[in-house]
Amino acid sequence: MKKVFLLSYEMPKFLSLHDWIDFKLQIEIVWLWGLFKTHKTINYKVYDYQDFKSFTNHWDKLIEKRLQLKVPLDEQ
């Protein structure tokens, strides 16, 4: 059973002229009762019509409380 945790996120320093904002998410994948850990960086797009502040608030809560991310099994 794999568990995925969010470690940190990074917003770009300069906003481009796209209709989205690219966030870099640092995740940790833990499996086999914590014996093995893998760290990955993934890109996540938040579009202009979405409220990015709600995303950052949610991510802050996940990082602070060390809650598990809900990721489909085929994407782990």
For the chain, what are the domain ranges? 3-12+19-70
pLDDT band at 8 (very low <50, low <70, confident <90, very high): very high
- For residue 1 the two structure tokens come to 């059973």
pLDDT single digits (tens) 56-65: 999 999 999 9
The pTM score is 0.82
pLDDT single digits (tens) 12-68: 887 777 888 899 999 999 999 889 999 999 999 999 889 889 999 999 999 999 999
Query: Which pLDDT score, from 0 to 100, does residue 19 have?
Result: 87
CA angle 40, 59, 41 (to 5 degrees): 15
